[in-house]
Amino acid sequence: MSSTLIRRLSVAGAAAAALAVASCGESGQQRNGIWAAGSSTVFPFATRVAENFGRNNPEGAPPRVEALGTGGGIQAFCQGLGPRTPDVANASRRMKGSEFDMCVENGVSEIIEIKIGYDGLVVATARSGADFVIEGSDLYLALAKEVPGPNGEFIANPYRTWDQVRPGLPAVRIQVYGPPPTSGTRDSWVELAMTPSAEAVPQLADLAESDSDRFEAIAHTLREDGAWIDSGENDNAIVQTLTRTPGSVGAFGYSFLEENIGEVKPASVNGVFPDLETIASGDYPISRSMFIYVKKAHIGVTPGLEAFLIEFTSEAATGRGGYLQDRGMVPLPEAERTAQRAVVTNLTAMARPE
């Protein structure tokens, strides 16, 4: 290992740099290109950045981007340092404290967290289907495995059609295609959609105050009787299913609505439709932040990684009117975009999430 290479790795601690270099050389496994894995929602954005980066850096290997789901991407990212693990984890939610601990246990002790923009989760149907106006407790009562029964006890969800949940909703079977448990979209769905919907039920609101663990177990556990269908990590597949299954509903990221607006339409949630303005302002209730996580020890080891991060946080990519907005990303406010670029410039490692 040359002193020149060590100097190039000055952005990482000496021990981490030595480990990264050693692992990148094991069994001739040197990897020349950037590897990013994770969220299916972040996938089209990361892919677009990779395409642009590849055009501007034709001498290097093009970045490899994989859609494994947020949980799967972070799991792979946290397995250790070196070429057999991703440089970047794409996430449609913030890294959990338990995931951060797993990273540290496996030698990934310095992680750079970059917020790249916002996304909304939409409730959508085929253009030819009925209009949905989602309010209050609708999503919880339609999709939770257990709901309050006549005697106040929790019972298996008895509702079979949307109009049984609330008069005025379409008289069609409850059949919702959504993300699986490994997906960050699923985590965001239960936190941002199911939790507030459950809290709109007085009995659940009381339970949230008296026994938060019990409340979370009830509010976050989705039906297993066919009303909720786990649909894999490919949100485009959900869109295609809606057009083939009359009356069905899908839950997926806003960017996929933008890409398929001629085929599907969104429901309003508490009187608000999802669009760039309502998601950025927080007026649309089911909105979230998107992140990428980067191994600081891989900077200077994986060719082009730092330049890739600069491209990802550039105004041309993530600014208002940038090429990622064209893909459906909702840009951060200007001050926050500036702050995220400073994280990249200074290669600032994150603290453990709460």
Nearest alpha-carbon partner for 350 in 141, 103, 109, 111? 111
> CB-side exposure of 329: number of CA atoms within 13 Å?
32
Of 58 and 275, the one with more pLDDT: 275
The two tokens of residue 330 are 């909702």
For residue 253, list its beta bridge partners: 121
The letter for the amino acid at 155 is I
Mean pLDDT to the nearest integer, 190-204: 94
DSSP H stretches of helix in the chain: 3-8, 14-24, 43-56, 70-77, 97-105, 138-143, 162-165, 184-189, 195-199, 202-210, 212-220, 235-244, 254-259, 276-281, 305-312, 315-318, 334-346
Residue 40 pLDDT exceeds 90: no
Return the pLDDT at 25: 38
Q: How far apart are CA 12 and CA 87, in angstroms?
A: 14
Return the pLDDT at 256: 84
Q: Which of 119-123, 320-324, 327-331 has the lowest mean pLDDT?
A: 327-331
Question: What pTM was estimated for this model as a whole?
Answer: 0.71
Mean pLDDT to the nearest integer, 86-95: 95
Residues 310 and 141: beta-carbon distance below 8 Å? no
pLDDT digit string, tens, across residues 144-189: 999 999 888 999 999 999 999 999 999 999 999 998 887 777 888 9
Return the pLDDT at 215: 95
Strand duo 249-253 + 111-126: pairing: antiparallel
Of 299 and 258, the one with more pLDDT: 299
Return the pLDDT at 280: 86
Mean residue pLDDT across the chain? 88
Tokens 């200077």 belong to 300
pLDDT band per the 50, 70, 90 thresholds, residue 9: very low
